[in-house]
Amino acid sequence: MSHALQGVKCTVKNCKFNDNGTLCTASAIEVNVDDGGNSARQSRETNCRTFQA
């Protein structure tokens, strides 16, 4: 497994890039607005596009 992304905390434990329910080991991540576009009002309206089960 590659090194964790510095400064990225992620609790999505079932993602194949997740380590220990806290770290992301992807080489980079892409984050998007849930419904498309480029304007979110709250953090819960954003999501990690890099996720893989």
The contact set with ligand SF4 (CB under 6 A) reads 8, 10, 12, 15, 17-18, 24, 26, 29, 48, 50-51
User: Which lies closer to ligand SF4 via its Cβ, residue 39 or residue 53?
Assistant: 53
Give the other-Cβ count within 10 Å of 49's Cβ: 9
User: Which lies closer to ligand SF4 via its Cβ, residue 29 or residue 40?
Assistant: 29
Q: Extract the tokens encoding 9.
A: 């905390």
4 closest CA partner among 24, 22, 21, 18: 24
User: Which lies closer to ligand SF4 via its Cβ, residue 30 or residue 38?
Assistant: 30
Length of the chain: 53
